[in-house]
Chain A
């Protein structure tokens, strides 16, 4: 049971990464590799602030802001200096590797002895359960610690998702969505599309960094290598979410990204339990995204062929 709860907790934490990737890849059609660096950046910033005694919520907000800055850099490289979108992300991601090492001062910062969002929510959970450390949920024996951490992260994801949904329906948010959809139109309506891309990537990477900050606090350490392959992970979640919801309505796509992240994490957990070597995880993830990208093409071709027959 605690394994399942742990799986869902990480799934929800990484759903923020999925939302970030959803903004860059789907709303702006911008293949933003920065996320690999900004998820680590979020973890590093949060970790080092926590070690220095900053309160966990404040450290998480700082991580979000640091991620925004990284995203804004990528956006600026692309829009102001006309650097190819993929290359802009690669440049910032590479630079972030050194920056992350500088922030932490070493390649790994443990958080086992400091106050984090996980320990805070655990304390609140224990208080609510009047001191009990385990409770019975529909026949399952559940640890209060695991459940309260999951509860806190669900709350955080619901809040963030709701906020994102609201934002994308404000005047500014709609202008951002239209920028990814039709640049010619949005310029003709007086929107500076370059600014929209910079701002959009800032929000995207802010969410990714927040996801990294929460992940570091949950797993109890920040590591300079934790971001490798995370863009592909987020993309896999978004693709699964689209398959699950099968619509392009805004609210449903946001819920879909969260659901996709949960399901993908669950699939990974099952695969690992069945004996998949953790070393092969990124290979399998990449292969999965590859399949998810080409299968629709084959389906379309197959459908055309049967239509001609």
Chain B
């Protein structure tokens, strides 16, 4: 389904601010799998997601999606295959448009847009049903501007929009990180329901060790632009939040060791 082949990306190359965000990342995802990505800050997990979405061109490597080489496709062209939910609840919706106008934009994700009427009766009827299923009481407020809603409500709607047309790949970028705990639980519950119901292939970045342990069928740990652990099958199912924290601690110690060893070398031999 998704094939990421030795993809590299360096930001600000050749400047003092050079950041090697991705260093030859390889990842194969089967159709219908749900892969969770965790990693320290700056490990490249969001960069990997954005590389797949096409936010920027990659420096090296290939990205294949649903049998097509999309490496050179611009972001808006890939939208035909990809549904996305961002970390910032304000990023996924258009604040001055109404709920139904936002949903009608999503109903044409990746398709040609002409002079057809945006809010057809049949579409609005389906909107009512789907929005009612969110259990947020928004089905009677379809005419309200989305900007007047809370972050949790907007994120739930963004998820609905991203999956309105079944995407080949769903990208979730820490989509509950900016929400209060109650809204986050609601959105996660909704996420599980949608992914199970539509049998979606999902790539999800999270900060929450609890989510990382309980969700998905495969877990990838990233560090410094590379994948350092890949847990699948039974191994993934056995993982507990504490195990993941222990792995992070390992990474941290190894790093300190590297740094102190390097320092010792500098002090004694240079």
Please pick, from B84, B91, B94, B161, the residue contacting A177 in the complex, using a CB distance under 8 A: B94
Given A169-B118, A174-B118, A188-B84 contact (CB < 8 Å): yes
Q: A190: which B residues are within 8 A, CB to CB?
A: 76-77, 79-80, 108-111
CA distance A182 to B91 in the complex (A): 7
A189 & B97 in contact (Cβ 8 Å cutoff): no
CA distance A63 to B55 in the complex (A): 39
Additional A-B contact list (10), CB under 8 Å, known A170-B116, A185-B94: A174-B118, A178-B94, A178-B97, A185-B92, A189-B106, A190-B80, A191-B76, A191-B113, A192-B74, A193-B76
Please pick, from B95, B104, B109, B115, the residue contacting A182 in the complex, using a CB distance under 8 A: B95
Q: For chain B, which range describes its interface: under 10, 10 to 19, 20 to 34, or 35 or more residues?
A: 35 or more
Please pick, from A181, A191, A192, A193, the residue contacting B97 in the complex, using a CB distance under 8 A: A181
Q: A282: which B residues are within 8 A, CB to CB?
A: none
Please pick, from B53, B75, B91, B115, the residue contacting A171 in the complex, using a CB distance under 8 A: B115
Residues of B within 8 A of A (CB): 53, 74-77, 79-80, 82, 84, 86, 90-97, 101-102, 104-106, 108-111, 113-119, 145, 161-162
- 9 A-B pairs, CB-CB below 8 angstroms? A170-B115, A170-B116, A174-B105, A185-B91, A186-B94, A188-B75, A190-B108, A190-B109, A191-B76
Given A171-B113, A190-B77, A178-B105 contact (CB < 8 Å): yes
Q: B117: which A residues are within 8 A, CB to CB?
A: 169-171
Please, how many residues of chain A have a CB less than 8 angstroms from a CB on the other chain?
A: 23
| A152-179 near B? 1/0 per residue, CB < 8 Å | 0000000000000001011111110110
Distance (whole angstroms) from the CB of A64 to the closest CB of chain B: 17
CA distance A184 to B79 in the complex (A): 12
Closest 5 CB pairs of A and B: A190-B79, A190-B110, A178-B94, A181-B94, A171-B113
A177 & B76 in contact (Cβ 8 Å cutoff): no
Q: A189: which B residues are within 8 A, CB to CB?
A: 79, 105-106, 108-110, 161
CA distance A173 to B145 in the complex (A): 16
Q: B90: which A residues are within 8 A, CB to CB?
A: 182
Distance (whole angstroms) from the CB of A145 to the closest CB of chain B: 38
Chain B minimum-CB-distance residue to A27: B96
A134 proximal to B (CB < 8 A) = no
Given A174-B97, A174-B101, A181-B97, A188-B92 contact (CB < 8 Å): yes
B119 & A169 in contact (Cβ 8 Å cutoff): yes
